[in-house]
Structure 1
Amino acid sequence: MQGERLNVEFPDSSRCQVATKVGVSLGKSRTSVGKPTDLTISTGTSFGVLHASVMDAVTTAVAEHHAVPTKVKHSWGPATQTTPSDIFVKVAANTTQDKYVQLTLQNYSDVLQQVWDNASKIRNAQASFKLLLFVYIEKAASTAIRRATSSNIATSALRVADYIRDQNIVLGPLQTDYAGVVTARLPVTAPVEIPSNATMDQLGHIDSMLAQHAAARHRDSISQSTDTYRRVRLRIGTMASSPVDIFLSVEGLRGILIPPFDLTPIFRAPVVGDIPVPSVNVEDSDHINE
């Protein structure tokens, strides 16, 4: 005959363990700040006293964690309004994080009794009873300069495009790309700002030159496309011969020689002044014996 389970009252004094988790409440956090802190509560401990004790324990754990310069900083400050104040309880031994119960003033006594009753269902669980409490905090927003990776540049390019459209700013392609790279290096929370440095001015000048050259090329291509024959001047015999105008079929030349794309190089302004001659490493020492 199976014996009846004894109904043991909640003890006058019990142990409590506070763990600080990094992540979203009721999520799948696998990271904790420091080691859990042990506290002792009694049946006369009110919710307000327990809440203050838990917050002090979390503050101490975070302070010890931040004392190590190499460790990641977390968002926690008792004096700020953004400080998480929710306390969650693991009501049973097999309860997963998403099933933790938030401890409030209204359910304080009922939840403690529920945890105690669940412990009675496991052999010797009440003898080693420990109330498991959890507080979730998040990582502090990074203010450090980031690397301009391809992923960051792609994300910042969308932000820059939206900003340019909202502010009705006119930028060239090179200026837009440069603004995207600069934004990609800033922290995630930093607002979009269009650079106003010398590099931006130089890129604006290049964008203007490219636009003018593209427009001229477009006009030439339109005029050339309407001409069936193009005039070419030749000297037959010797250089002393008089030039002769010959009209060639553009389509015919393309069929035997000229490819169907523009062979004209991009315009570059001529270099003004003398080009300095190198004075060092002139000799090709790597191939001196060849």
Structure 2
Amino acid sequence: MHITRFVILLFCHRLPKGCDGSVLINSTSNNQAEKDGPPNLSLRGFQVIDAAKTAVEAACPGVVSCADILALVARDAIQQIKGPFWPVPLGRRDGRVSIASESLTQLPAPFANITQLKAQFASKGLNVKDLAVLSGGHTVGVSHCSTIATRLYNFTGKGDTDPSLDPRYVPKLKSICFPTDKTTLLSMDPGSSKTFDEDYYSVVLKRRGLFESDAALLNDKITSAYVKLQAQSHGKTFFKDFQDSMVKMGKIGVLTGKAGEIRRHCAVIN
């Protein structure tokens, strides 16, 4: 489950520099890397990527990038939890730069509104439908209580709760998450968080999406219509749409030719 959340939520559209494997790099005494940026602290599963890289290097050293391995693992992990399968174009090279602060400025924030989300996706060459489709990746995975603490306990600075959240759902969230809780994890899609399906859209339509960015999907004509379509049609087009958007996302910020490198170890620049 942890590796699945990792590859879905942070594969490319959640990576500041695109599909160059920069989120895999460890911090050093001179640099705090992306994986240690606040939005990425709940990531798990790096050891799975490292193990795959070790096996590939043993068979064909210096040929397959960490970025390509991440793209393939993303596809295969989703398929293993009953999600779709899509072709993965290969040939990416690995980036040499990973900066924690970029995870704050370049990634769609959980408190982002619909205008901010649309602008950030557009900056990566993704359209409004892609935003609605890829948000469906929240059908699996977890987040820390601290991410929604303000939304639950002090939304406008007056000890209130975000009015976009179903008031009948708030007591349950508060029973799990206390104001200063920084360790407890919440499922993104309660009751269906271990299966890749369209249930996320039903959750959002009920105004029970965990993040403000989930609720924001109901504030735009296109994204709202998509949420309603998938919730009411039992995800009739979701898998095909997700395949298409993942292929698009897999082309963001790709390094080829002599750019970047092929890392020997995914966590360390050569």
Which protein is richer in strand relative to its size? 1
For CA contacts below 8 A with separation 6 or more, give which structure has more relative contact order. Answer: 2
Q: Computing the radius of gyration over CA atoms, which structure comes out larger, 1 or 2?
A: 1
TM-score bracket for this pair, using the shorter chain length:
under 0.3
TM-score by length of 1: 0.18
TM-score by length of 2: 0.19
